[in-house]
Structure 1
Amino acid sequence: MSSNLFSHIETALARDPDSVILETLDGTETRAEALLEAVDRMASLLASLGLKPGERLSAQVDKDAMNVVLYLACLKAGGVYLPLNSGYTDSEIEYFLSDAEPVIHVCTTSRQAGAEAIAARLGGLQVQTLDLDGGSLRAAFEAHTGRFGATVARAPSDLASFLYTSGTTGKPKGAMLTHNNLLSNAQMLTQAWDYSTEDTLLHALPLFHVHGLFVALNLALVNAAKVILLPKYEVEAVLQALPRTRVMMGVPTYYTRLLSEARFDRALTGHMRLFISGSAPLLVETSDQFFERTGQRILERYGMTETGMSCSNPLNGDRRAGSVGPALPGVQARIVSEDGAPSAAGEIGSLQVKGDHVFAGYWKLPEKTASEFTDDGFFVTGDLATLSDDGYVSIVGRGKDLIITGGLNVYPKEIEDVLNDMPGIKESAVIGVPHPDFGEGIVAVLVAEDTLDLDAVKAACRVAMAAFKLPRTWHIVDELPRNTMGKVQKNLLRERFG
Structure 2
Amino acid sequence: MIDNFWKDKYPAGISAEINPDQYPNILAVLKESCQRFANKPAFSNLGKTLTYGELYKLSGDFAAYLQQNTSLQPGDRIAVQLPNVLQYPVVVFGAMRAGLIVVNTNPLYTAREMEHQFNDSGAKALVCLANMAHLAEEVLPKTGIRHVVITEVADLLPPLKRLLVNSVVKYVKKMVPAYHIAQAVKLNDALAKGRGQTVREASPKSDDVAVLQYTGGTTGVAKGAMLTHRNLVANMLQCKALMGANLDEGCEILIAPLPLYHIYAFTFHCMAMMLTGNHNILVTNPRDLNALAKELSQWKFTGFVGLNTLFVGLCNNEAFRKLDFTSLKLTLSGGMALQQATAERWKEVTGCAICEGYGMTETSPVVSVNPFQNIQIGTIGIPVPSTLCKVVDDAGVEQPLGERGELCVKGPQVMKGYWQRQEATDEILDKDGWLRTGDVAIIEADGYMRIVDRKKDMILVSGFNVYPNELEDVLATLPGVLQCAAIGVPDERSGEVIKVFVVPKPGVNLTKEQVVQHMHDNLTGYKRPKYVEFRESLPTTNVGKILRRELRDEELKKAKA
Per mean C-alpha deviation after superposition, the further-off stretch among 15-24 and 381-390 is 15-24
Residue 277 of structure 1 corresponds to which residue in structure 2? 333
Alpha-carbon contact 2:269-2:280 (below 8 Å) kept: no
Residue 108 of structure 2 corresponds to which residue in structure 1? 87
Residues 241, 442 of structure 1: CA spacing in aligned structure 2 closer, same or farther, 3 A cutoff?
A: same
Alpha-carbon contact 2:440-2:454 (below 8 Å) kept: yes
Superposed displacement of residue 144, structure 1:
3.6
1:241 aligns with 2:293: no
Residue 434 of structure 2 corresponds to which residue in structure 1? 378
- Where do residues 215-254 of structure 1 align in structure 2 (5 Å cutoff)? 215-233=268-286, 234-239=288-293, 240-241=295-296, 243-254=299-310
- Structure 1 length-normalised TM: 0.79
Residue 170 of structure 1 corresponds to which residue in structure 2? 220
Residues 255, 381 of structure 1: CA spacing in aligned structure 2 closer, same or farther, 3 A cutoff?
A: same
Choose the corresponding residue for 1:78, options 95, 99, 104.
99
Choose the corresponding residue for 1:347, options 403, 409, 416.
403
Residues 132, 264 of structure 1: CA spacing in aligned structure 2 closer, same or farther, 3 A cutoff?
A: closer
Partner secondary structure for residue 309 of structure 2: helix
Per mean C-alpha deviation after superposition, the further-off stretch among 61-70 and 426-435 is 426-435
Residue 56 of structure 1 corresponds to which residue in structure 2? 77
1:309 aligns with 2:366: yes
Per mean C-alpha deviation after superposition, the further-off stretch among 433-442 and 215-224 is 433-442
Alpha-carbon contact 1:2-1:154 (below 8 Å) kept: no
Residue 330 of structure 1 corresponds to which residue in structure 2? 386
Alpha-carbon contact 2:313-2:493 (below 8 Å) kept: no
Structure 1: 5+ residue stretches without partners: 403-418, 447-470, 477-498
Residue 263 of structure 2 corresponds to which residue in structure 1? 210
Residue 137 of structure 1 corresponds to which residue in structure 2? 187
Structure 2: 5+ residue stretches without partners: 1-21, 156-184, 459-489, 502-537
1:10 aligns with 2:31: yes
Alpha-carbon contact 2:308-2:494 (below 8 Å) kept: no
Percent of residue pairs identical: 26
Superposed displacement of residue 282, structure 1:
0.7
Partner secondary structure for residue 395 of structure 1: strand
Residue 181 of structure 1 corresponds to which residue in structure 2? 231
Choose the corresponding residue for 1:65, options 86, 95, 120.
86
Residue 423 of structure 2 corresponds to which residue in structure 1? 367
Deviations 1:131-160 (A, max 9, x none): 224662332323443344353111110010
1:31 aligns with 2:86: no
Residue 100 of structure 1 corresponds to which residue in structure 2? 121
What amino acid is the match of 2:296?
A
Choose the corresponding residue for 1:46, options 59, 66, 74.
66
Partner secondary structure for residue 206 of structure 1: coil
Superposed displacement of residue 333, structure 1:
0.9
Residues 437, 310 of structure 1: CA spacing in aligned structure 2 closer, same or farther, 3 A cutoff?
A: closer
Deviations 1:335-368 (A, max 9, x none): 1122222223332210000111000100000121
Partner secondary structure for residue 192 of structure 2: helix
Residue 492 of structure 1 corresponds to which residue in structure 2? none
Residues 357, 253 of structure 1: CA spacing in aligned structure 2 closer, same or farther, 3 A cutoff?
A: same
Residues 273, 151 of structure 1: CA spacing in aligned structure 2 closer, same or farther, 3 A cutoff?
A: farther
Choose the corresponding residue for 1:288, options 344, 359, 372.
344
Choose the corresponding residue for 2:211, options 161, 167, 176.
161
Superposed displacement of residue 296, structure 1:
2.3
Partner secondary structure for residue 92 of structure 1: helix
Alpha-carbon contact 1:9-1:224 (below 8 Å) kept: no
What amino acid is the match of 1:20?
P
- Structure 2 length-normalised TM: 0.71
Alpha-carbon contact 1:2-1:153 (below 8 Å) kept: no
Alpha-carbon contact 2:43-2:86 (below 8 Å) kept: yes
- 2-side partners of 1:426 and 1:97: how far apart? 32
Alpha-carbon contact 1:429-1:445 (below 8 Å) kept: no
Alpha-carbon contact 2:23-2:233 (below 8 Å) kept: no
- 2-side partners of 1:113 and 1:258: how far apart? 33
Partner secondary structure for residue 274 of structure 2: helix
Residues 97, 322 of structure 1: CA spacing in aligned structure 2 closer, same or farther, 3 A cutoff?
A: same
Partner secondary structure for residue 399 of structure 1: coil
Superposed displacement of residue 261, structure 1:
2.7
Deviations 1:65-119 (A, max 9, x none): 1121001101111110011111111111111111111111122334334424433
Residue 196 of structure 2 corresponds to which residue in structure 1? 146
What amino acid is the match of 1:221?
M
- 2-side partners of 1:265 and 1:63: how far apart? 24
Superposed displacement of residue 173, structure 1:
0.6
Partner secondary structure for residue 50 of structure 2: strand
What amino acid is the match of 1:276?
L
Residue 491 of structure 1 corresponds to which residue in structure 2? none
Partner secondary structure for residue 202 of structure 1: strand
Residues 399, 205 of structure 1: CA spacing in aligned structure 2 closer, same or farther, 3 A cutoff?
A: closer
Superposed displacement of residue 202, structure 1:
0.8
Superposed displacement of residue 397, structure 1:
2.8
Per mean C-alpha deviation after superposition, the further-off stretch among 231-240 and 301-310 is 231-240
Superposed displacement of residue 435, structure 1:
3.7
What amino acid is the match of 1:38?
L
Residue 490 of structure 1 corresponds to which residue in structure 2? none
Deviations 1:148-207 (A, max 9, x none): 435311111001011110478421111010000011100111111124322221111112
What amino acid is the match of 1:331?
T
What amino acid is the match of 1:441?
E
Partner secondary structure for residue 195 of structure 2: coil
- 2-side partners of 1:333 and 1:172: how far apart? 25
Alpha-carbon contact 2:336-2:495 (below 8 Å) kept: no
Residues 64, 387 of structure 1: CA spacing in aligned structure 2 closer, same or farther, 3 A cutoff?
A: same
Residues 428, 82 of structure 1: CA spacing in aligned structure 2 closer, same or farther, 3 A cutoff?
A: closer
Superposed displacement of residue 288, structure 1:
1.7
Residue 441 of structure 1 corresponds to which residue in structure 2? 550
Partner secondary structure for residue 391 of structure 1: coil
Q: How many residues align?
A: 431
- 1-side partners of 2:541 and 2:57: how far apart? 66
Residues 306, 428 of structure 1: CA spacing in aligned structure 2 closer, same or farther, 3 A cutoff?
A: closer
Deviations 1:412-432 (A, max 9, x none): xxxxxxx99xxxx88876999
Partner secondary structure for residue 550 of structure 2: strand
Residues 263, 81 of structure 1: CA spacing in aligned structure 2 closer, same or farther, 3 A cutoff?
A: same
Residues 24, 127 of structure 1: CA spacing in aligned structure 2 closer, same or farther, 3 A cutoff?
A: closer
